[in-house]
Amino acid sequence: MDAALSNSVLKPVLGWPLAAYPRIASRPLPSRHPAVIPIVPKVYIIDEYPPLRGSQMLPDAHHDLIPRRHISMHAPPQLKLARTVSFLTDSLHTTLREPNGHPVKTKPAQSSRQRFLDTWPIIRGELLEAFAAQGLPAKALEWYKNSLDYNVPGGKLNRGLSVVDSVELFKGRRLTDAEYLEASVLGWGVEFLQSYFLVTDDLMDSSHTRRGQPCWYRVPHVGLLAVNDAGMLRSCIFILVRKHFRHMPFYADLLELFDEMSYKTEIGQLVDLITAPEATSISTASPCRSTYETIIKFKTAYYSFYLPIALAMTLCRIPHTSDTGADPYASALSVLLPLGAYFQIQDDVLDVTAPPEVLGKVGTDIVDGKCSWCVNTALAHCTPAQRTVLEENYGRKDAACEARVKDVFRAVGIEERYAAYERDVYARLKSMIAGVPEVRGEDAVFRREALSVFLEKIHGRSK
């Protein structure tokens, strides 16, 4: 066996014994290519953990060494990790050797999140330049800069990353720097929209923390100025899109997507707020059940799931028509709406079960009397006595009342019922995705794998 595959190299990396690589030693390297010995395989965490197929780690050509998002490889049973959609060891080197034995100089693989974050200074710089061009006081510029940095780049960035990742997936190759910046502009556009919603939502819900820090309106000297700041965050989208895409034939399509998804989300927020049960009675939860699907579709699914994919498809010039007659945008929407519903139901459950240090905020659905999956499920399975407890305590801004509601939730098995729901919806969504047709654009292909990536990102999440 090559020295590069000795225990001294492999075990410190992941602690896997050499038995995990049974086929490496016996498989000769193709003589027509430089000797390629990966120090550690790229691993895509999946649900099952059968034994590692060592032969997958030896590529047949140089291009197979380029980190490709969404390629599945099996992890050995020794590896016990939570489900994730990130590549394992994303920042480790891969060892390349020329036929003369000299190592090929390579850069360590950069995590996709870090590469996306690296474009933030460019995005922020363009916005500050546009703001300064208005001839405003330095104090206003400083406030604007602080608002941008506090509210936009601090989250998981999954929505923005999904735009970039989907563009790369549709094109089937690594993006050039110029292409990556274009995709990032749209990705950050989704993050600005998300920030706009979060700032206003925190105000309406009187929330205390967001992403592990005080909500923006609770920062000293901000208060209700957050309303104006939120509007300015939304305006950033159109400043960026105009600067980068005004000359493009799909410029109007991008503007329409952002505007329409914002409108739909605001509809969902309205229905969510006006259907919260009154503190004096939970009887209004009956119509709440009939409107819950409307809330989760409009408040979450459109902007969090359909928007990133639709933006990527538009940037890649995927047409609305295909040889089969199917509209790929409509096909994507048919999966992404129920996927968004699954995500919102997850959110509802995490709001009442996840500790604040994990969730990054204090859950308020119970004290706010929100029309959530948890209260609807509890009402459908509770005893008359438990219903009385819910009627007397749900929607009251009192810690003792909240605790009594949580006791009822535990008694009816909310977490167990959610686990059964998740198993069922995951299987149904996988089946739906398998039936989505793939459509070719000018230099890209709409691939159903982008939908699978979204599903895996949220499946089993804990925050």
pLDDT digits (tens, 9 = 90+) for 21-61: 333 333 333 333 333 333 333 332 222 323 333 323 323 33
The pLDDT assigned to 216 comes to 94
Share of the chain above pLDDT 70, in %: 73
Grade residue 286 by pLDDT with cuts at 50, 70 and 90. low
The pLDDT assigned to 356 comes to 83
Q: How far apart are the first and last CA of the chain?
A: 44
Assign 42 to helix, strand or coil: coil
Contact between 314 and 257 under an 8 Å Cβ cutoff? The reply is yes
Neighbours of 266 (CB within 10 A): 16
Instruction: For 102-148, write each residue's pLDDT tens digit.
Output: 443 434 445 888 999 999 999 999 999 999 999 999 999 999 999 99
Question: Comparing 111-247 with 264-463, is the CATH topology the same?
Answer: yes
Q: Where are the domains of the chain?
A: 1-109, 111-247, 264-463
The pLDDT assigned to 276 comes to 65
The pLDDT assigned to 207 comes to 86
Q: Using only C-alpha atoms, what is the Rg of the chain?
A: 25
Instruction: Give me the CATH code for the 111-247 domain, please.
Output: 1.10.600.10
The pLDDT assigned to 65 comes to 28
71's tokens = 């390629």
79-88, 201-210, 348-357, 444-453: range with lowest mean pLDDT: 79-88
- Rounded to 5°, angle at Cα 327 from 325 and 330: 145
The identity of residue 68, as a single letter, is R
Grade residue 228 by pLDDT with cuts at 50, 70 and 90. very high
Instruction: For 155-212, write each residue's pLDDT tens digit.
Output: 889 999 999 999 999 999 999 999 999 999 999 999 999 999 999 999 998 888 888 8
CB-count exposure of residue 286 (10 Å: 0-12, 13-18, 19+): exposed
pTM above 0.75, yes or no: no
* 264-463: CATH superfamily: Farnesyl Diphosphate Synthase (1.10.600.10)
The identity of residue 213, as a single letter, is Q
